[in-house]
C-alpha cells in the first residue's frame, strides 16, 4: 500500500488534516497491526474441526487489506475520548463483514471474480460451497464478536449491534449490491439520466457507504459519543464513504490489472454504471474534493482536539492500491 500524491484529487493535505503524512502512515500501520492481531486471536484456529471452513475463513480474512473499517472505528472512538484496547475485537468484526461481502460478491453467480488482492478468490481455492459457507460463517462470527462481553453500558452495545446490522441488511449494503446487479442487467435500457444518477447514488451510498458509516458510528457508540457527536460521525461517514466509492470508480478506470491485483477496467468493459462513466472524470474528481471538505467539516464537530478522521478520509481518497 503506497501513499501517493496521485492525480485523482488535488488539495493541500497538510492544510486539511493538520497531521503530517508520516504520522498518519505510522498511525495506520500501528492500528492495522492491532486489528490484524485481533483477527488472528479471535478467528477459530485453522485446525478447529471442521478445519476446511476455518482455513477458508482465515484465507480470506488474513489475505491482507487496509483494515480501513476497523481503523475508522478506532479513530472515531479515540475522537470521542474512548479507550480502544478492549474494543478491538468488536471493531475487527467490521472486517469480517467486509470480507464476507467480498467472498460472496466474488462468487460465479455474482461478479465471478477469480482474483482479489492479487490472490485467488475463496471459491477458486475452496470451491463454491465452501466459499458460500465461509461467507455465512464470517457474517455470523461478526455478530458473535459484536456481542462479546465488554465493560460498557450494555444498552450502548445493543445499539451498536443494531446499527451495524441495519447498515448491512437488505436495505443497506446488501440492497446496494442487489441494485448494482439489477443495474448491470438493465444496462442500456434506460437513458433517463436523472434516473441513472439516482440509481447510482443508491448503489454507492448503500453498497460501500453504509458499512463505512456504520464503522465510525460503531467507534462512536462504543467510545462513548454524545448524540451530537454521533450525528457528526454519521455525516463524516456518509461523505467519506461516497468519496471512497467514487475514487474506486476512478481507480478502476485508470489503473491496470498489474497495480491493482484485480481485473481492472472490468467495470468499463461491462458498461457498468459508475460515477465517472455517468458524470465524467472531472466532475467525479470535483465531487471527491467536495465530499472530503464535507467530511472535514463534520469531523471538526466530533471533538475539540485533532483527530485522525480527516487524514484517513484524505488517505482513502488518494490510495493507489
Q: How far is the CB of 98 from its own copies (least distance, A)?
A: 13
Residue of 104, 257, 106 whose CA lies nearest to 168: 104
Q: How far apart are CA 30 and CA 138, in angstroms?
A: 24
Assess 110 for contact with its own copies (CB under 8 A).
Answer: yes
- Name the residue nearer to its own copies (CB basis): 112 or 226: 112
| Contacting range for its own copies; rule: CB under 8 A; set: 32-40, 177-185, 267-275, 287-295 | 177-185
Assess 48 for contact with its own copies (CB under 8 A).
Answer: yes
Site for its own copies in 134-153 (CB under 8 A): 134-137, 139-141, 143-144, 147-149
Q: In three state form, how does the secondary structure of 76-102 look? A: HHHHCCCCCHHHHHHHHHHHHHHHHHH
Determine the distance from the C-alpha atom of residue 83 to the mean position of all C-alpha atoms in its chain, rounded to a whole number.
22
38: its cell numbers: 485481533
Exposure on the CB side of residue 310, measured as CA atoms within 13 A: 24
154: its cell numbers: 450494555
42: its cell numbers: 479471535
Q: How far is the CB of 1 from its own copies (least distance, A)?
A: 28
Residue of 205, 239, 256 whose CA lies nearest to 317: 239
Assess 179 for contact with its own copies (CB under 8 A).
Answer: yes
Binder among 2, 5, 26, 170 for its own copies (CB under 8 A): 170
Assess 60 for contact with its own copies (CB under 8 A).
Answer: no
| Paired residues of 120 in beta bridges | 115
Binder among 129, 188, 191, 304 for its own copies (CB under 8 A): 129
Residue of 212, 222, 202, 209 whose CA lies nearest to 84: 222
Residues 6+ apart with CB under 8 A from 276: 246, 249, 250, 253, 283, 284
Assess 224 for contact with its own copies (CB under 8 A).
Answer: no
Q: How far is the CB of 158 from its own copies (least distance, A)?
A: 5
Assess 50 for contact with its own copies (CB under 8 A).
Answer: yes
Q: How far is the CB of 265 from its own copies (least distance, A)?
A: 22
- Name the residue nearer to its own copies (CB basis): 130 or 225: 130
Q: How far is the CB of 126 from its own copies (least distance, A)?
A: 10
- Name the residue nearer to its own copies (CB basis): 113 or 141: 141
Give the DSSP letter of residue 222: H
Q: How far apart are CA 81 and CA 220, in angstroms?
A: 9
User: Where on the chain is the footprint of its own copies (CB under 8 A)?
Assistant: 44, 48-50, 52-54, 57, 100, 104, 107, 109-110, 127-130, 132-137, 139-141, 143-144, 147-149, 154-155, 157-158, 161-162, 165-166, 168-171, 174-175, 177-179, 181-182, 202
Amino acid at each position: 500500500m503506497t501513499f501517493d500524491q496521485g492525480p485523482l484529487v488535488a488539495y493541500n493535505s497538510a492544510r486539511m488534516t493538520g497531521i503530517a503524512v508520516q504520522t498518519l502512515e505510522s498511525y495506520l500501520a500501528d492500528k492495522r497491526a492491532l486489528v490484524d492481531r485481533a483477527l488472528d486471536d479471535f478467528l477459530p484456529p485453522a485446525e478447529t474441526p471442521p478445519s476446511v471452513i476455518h482455513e477458508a475463513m482465515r484465507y480470506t480474512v488474513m489475505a491482507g487489506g487496509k483494515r480501513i473499517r476497523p481503523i475508522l472505528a478506532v479513530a472515531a472512538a479515540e475522537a470521542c475520548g474512548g479507550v480502544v484496547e478492549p474494543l478491538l475485537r468488536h471493531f475487527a468484526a467490521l472486517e469480517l463483514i467486509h470480507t464476507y461481502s467480498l467472498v460472496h460478491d466474488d462468487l460465479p453467480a455474482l461478479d465471478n471474480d477469480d482474483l482479489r488482492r492479487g490472490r485467488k478468490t475463496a471459491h477458486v481455492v475452496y470451491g463454491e460451497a465452501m466459499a458460500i459457507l465461509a461467507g455465512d460463517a464470517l457474517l455470523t462470527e461478526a455478530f458473535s464478536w459484536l456481542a462479546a462481553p465488554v465493560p460498557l453500558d450494555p444498552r450502548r452495545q445493543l445499539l451498536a449491534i443494531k446499527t451495524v446490522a441495519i447498515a448491512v441488511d437488505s436495505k443497506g449494503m446488501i440492497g446496494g449490491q442487489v441494485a448494482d446487479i439489477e443495474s448491470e442487467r438493465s444496462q442500456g435500457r434506460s437513458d433517463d439520466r436523472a434516473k441513472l444518477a439516482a440509481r447510482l447514488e443508491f448503489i454507492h451510498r448503500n453498497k460501500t457507504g453504509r458499512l463505512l458509516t456504520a464503522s465510525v458510528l460503531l467507534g462512536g457508540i462504543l467510545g462513548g459519543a454524545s448524540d451530537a457527536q454521533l450525528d457528526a460521525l454519521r455525516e463524516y461517514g456518509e461523505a467519506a464513504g461516497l468519496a471512497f466509492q467514487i475514487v474506486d470508480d476512478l481507480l478502476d478506470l485508470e489503473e491496470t490489472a498489474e497495480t491493482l491485483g484485480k481485473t481492472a477496467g472490468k467495470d468499463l468493459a461491462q458498461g457498468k454504471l459508475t460515477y465517472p462513466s455517468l458524470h465524467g472524470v472531472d466532475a467525479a474528481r470535483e465531487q471527491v474534493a467536495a465530499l472530503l471538505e464535507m467530511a472535514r467539516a463534520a469531523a471538526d464537530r466530533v471533538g475539540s482536539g485533532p483527530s485522525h478522521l480527516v487524514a484517513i478520509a484524505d488517505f482513502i481518497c488518494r490510495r493507489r492500491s
